[in-house]
Amino acid sequence: MKRKLTLILLTLTFTSCFFSNYESELIKSPTGNFEIKATVNRTDKNADNYAYVFIHLFDKKNNKLTELNTGTGDANKWTIGWTEIGDTIVLQSSDIGNKAWILNDNKTNQIKMTDELNARAKFLYSEKYK
């Protein structure tokens, strides 16, 4: 009986690790002026934001400036990061494709993907999914 109870508790513990909300570490921009992190609601299926990847933008004093719904679903592979120079956010998503946002006046504006931005997205993907 004790062995069965231990097995059940271990199963519940490991299962809860896979079915909890996700919050990434803060990723500092190359200029040091901003940080981003990603979050995913993996637990509240009734919420409008269920399983969507959100990017949260912070200034260097850790004040939240904005958040944006990337439109990518968490069921697929994805990653976020910055361009090597400047304050451009890059998203690599295997379900909706790559996206990028430039920062103007502490606000995000989506920009057209270029070969350079797609190469950066591919690099971020290769780093996350080694």
The CA-atom distances, in angstroms, between 115 and each of 36, 37, 81, 103 are 23, 24, 16, 19
pLDDT, tens only, 63-119: 999 999 999 999 999 999 999 999 999 999 999 999 999 998 888 999 999 999 999
Q: What proportion of the chain, given as a percentage, has pLDDT over 70?
A: 85
Q: What proportion of the chain, given as a percentage, has pLDDT over 90?
A: 75
Q: What is the pLDDT of residue 47?
A: 87
Q: Terminal CA-to-CA distance of the chain, rounded, Å?
A: 42
Q: What is the pLDDT of residue 14?
A: 47
Q: What is the pLDDT of residue 15?
A: 46
Position with higher pLDDT, 115 vs 45: 115
Half-sphere exposure of 39 (CA within 13 A, CB side): 10
Q: What is the pLDDT of residue 104?
A: 87
> Region 28-57: what's the mean pLDDT?
94
